Chains A and B, each alone.
Chain A
Amino acid sequence: MNARLLPYILILPVTLFLCLFFLYPFLLVAKQAFNNGSGFTLENFQEVVGYWKFPISLKNTLLLAAAVVPVQLALALLMATMVNKMQKGRDLILYVWTIPLGISDLAAGIIWLAIFEQSGFLNSMMSGLGMIDRPMNFLSYQHPGIVFLAIALAEIWRATAIMLVILVAGIGLIPKEYYEAAEVFGASPWKRFWRITLPLLRPSLQTALVLRVILAFEIFAVVAALGGTLFPVLMGETYAYQFDLLNSGAAAAMALIILAISIGFTLIILRALRVPKGAQI
């Protein structure tokens, strides 16, 4: 076997798979979005952007990402450094923390619905403690703030682990010598985190943030379970176009808009967290 060809042969199956099941459908979707049966058109985009709910769902999606991702980043960093310092029980803690990853997002939404519902756990607990006389309606159109908070909480609970896993792996890659040298020069733990861990973690932070931000723009099931129709998001509107209105062209256009936003943010993150050539480990 030719050693120069081997890597290409090894990635060939994956490449073929991606071309067949990702690239090709993507091209079909793009064609659907820009085509109305008689040729090139922007009608689908005009239709979805002109709909009165579009600005609301765009705003909701962005707001949610802006609220959830930074909290998750901070939490994941904290949890990753904690795990790293542990001598015993590290694996057990990691397993427990990553349990939410194994739960589908709709199931996660339903779990939190069971908490926030009118006859849910939170209400039973509060009335058990004598804090309220009768069950309150948290998830109603009168309390958009609480609906937002509930969705954000569920998302933080559900998807922080994916960043955690990446960051834990990244921290493990940082050579111990840097920390030893820093200790010799008397750097405080805080300073070591700030000057060594964070800068050297940049490639992992990049991956984690890109992955998480893309997922944040695709949020759907948790919102559907907790917000019902109260909290329209881009992905929910896409679903409605495809399955309620049977308008594949408009759904394809929405999908491309979400893709464009995702690519935009990915580029920003890649640029902001880039590692200069000379500084790579």
Chain B
Amino acid sequence: MKFKTKLAGAVSGIAIFVSAGVAQAETLFWSTQAKPVEEAQAMREQVLAGQDVDYQPNDGGPWLTRLNAELQAGSGTIGVLGALHGDFSAMNPDDLVDLGDLGVGSASATFNELAKLGTDSAQYIPWMQASYIMAANKKALEHLPEGADINALTYDQLIAWAGNVQAATGDAKFGFPAGPKGLKHRFFQGYLYPSYTNGVVRTFASDEAVTAWEKMRELWAVTNPASTNFSFLQEQLLSEDVWIAFDHTSRLAQAFNERPDDFVAFPAPAGPTGRGFMPVIAGVAIPRTAPDMDAAKAVVQHLLKPETQIATLRATNFFPVVDVALPDDLPPAVQAAGDAVAKMSASADANPGLLPAGLGDKGGDFNRVFVDAFERIVLAGQDIRAVLDDQKTRLQAIMDETGAPCWAPDAPSDGACPVE
């Protein structure tokens, strides 16, 4: 009996030792991106094939909790971090290893500048990019207003179009990601505000902003009222609860991949000050507590190789950040989205915005200003001018606290971006 116990103890001890040894050899890639099971599996089997990497995607909350625990403990197991620009900008740059001397980076100087997080050296390396586009069921096309070009729509035409669809079918079939996990704030920050006010922060409470919110109300009147539960519009496009939708390219991908012949992708609409649109950047970084620095850096370099970037595109529907020639046999969602983004950036009235920068961990509060404005103005029907004047003080407090300078399309500022 006693011998057996000892034996069992020895065996379990060896088992723990061996498994610990295995865990040591692999680099843990701790990511907020490519979370759906299929995408995570594609990351492991295609993108990271042959690499000694343990790819573990997670929700933003748990992702940050574990990372912070490791940083506080001063030692950790996470080797490489994958996350959105906003996630990194909420972190203390000292917690990330300087990657300026790694010799890799994005083809876009703007992205590389953003990745410095206000320091002198790259804190993360741009990894992949996406954007927000429009998608529609082909059944909706016959209801396009007279003279409207789907690749050069204006907000008024979009509202008229959704109105026509509603008149013809009896249902409001424009879909907007206003659910709890929906990305509605990006629509206001990167699309509605730039298109109507040519700014985001400076013009937050301007008269043009009042017009923008009036348009938002008109659009909402022809929007599927269940939109407050929608977070991934691909689901509603496929169930046909929605015929016209605005969302993140990777949140529309499933619709195009499952029924490529039924849907079209097209650029976001334009307003009086151009066709506002905004990129999404994901990056990779190394925490200062990474157990094996060289292995982690090798993973980052691997991810930036052109062939890896194309494999990533197939796996996640996020586009490369380096110059690569795209092959012809890409999935339908990638082709449709790539086409729409290209048309959007090449349009004569393009008014590209940048992601909010310099907000640090106030990114969530910044988003909340816009979401609150939406809930109060559009859902609760409060007076636009009063709501904007009220929210404006919160926005100004965030800008003053972080000292974040203005970003495009706002005119540059000395010091904190002022709300005018």
Contacts and interface: CB of A to CB of B under 8 A. Distances in A.
Given A228-B179, A245-B368, A118 B228 contact: no
A118 B175 CA distance: 13
Interface string A169-206: 00000000000000000000000000000000000000
A66 to B, nearest CB: 23
Contact of A141 (B60, B64, B379): B379
B364 A244 contact: yes
Contacts of A52: 372, 376
A242 B61 contact: yes
B178 interface: yes
Nearest to B60: A243
Contact of B178 (A113, A119, A229, A245): A229
B263 to A, nearest CB: 18
Please classify the interface of chain B as helix (H, G, I), strand (E, B), loop, or mixed, using the class held by over half of its residues: helix
A140 interface: yes
A186 to B, nearest CB: 57
B241 interface: yes
Q: How large is the interface on B (under 10, 10 to 19, 20 to 34, 35 or more residues)?
A: 20 to 34
Interface string A126-139: 00000000110101
Given A134-B170, A141-B225, A246 B178 contact: no
Nearest to B59: A243
Contacts of B77: none
Contacts of A244: 364, 367-368
Contacts of B170: 134
Interface in B140-181: 170-171, 178-180
Interface string B361-398: 10011011000100110010000000000000000000
A235 interface: no
Contacts of B367: 244
B90 A229 contact: no
B372 A118 contact: no
B364 A142 contact: no
B239 interface: yes
A230 interface: yes
A216 interface: no
A224 interface: yes
Interface string A237-268: 00000111111000000000000000000000
Given A119-B239, A134-B170, A243 B61 contact: yes
Please classify the interface of chain A as helix (H, G, I), strand (E, B), loop, or mixed, using the class held by over half of its residues: loop
Interface in A93-114: 113
Interface in B51-77: 60-61, 64
15 contacts: A118-B226, A119-B241, A134-B171, A137-B224, A137-B225, A137-B226, A140-B225, A141-B225, A142-B225, A228-B229, A229-B228, A229-B375, A230-B379, A244-B367, A245-B365
Interface of B: 60-61, 64, 90, 170-171, 178-180, 224-226, 228-229, 239, 241, 361, 364-365, 367-368, 372, 375-376, 379
Interface of A: 52-53, 113, 117-119, 134-135, 137, 139-142, 224, 228-230, 242-247
Given A139-B229, A229-B180, A229-B375, 14 more contacts: A52-B372, A117-B226, A119-B239, A140-B228, A141-B228, A141-B379, A142-B225, A228-B228, A229-B179, A243-B61, A245-B364, A246-B361, A247-B364, A247-B365
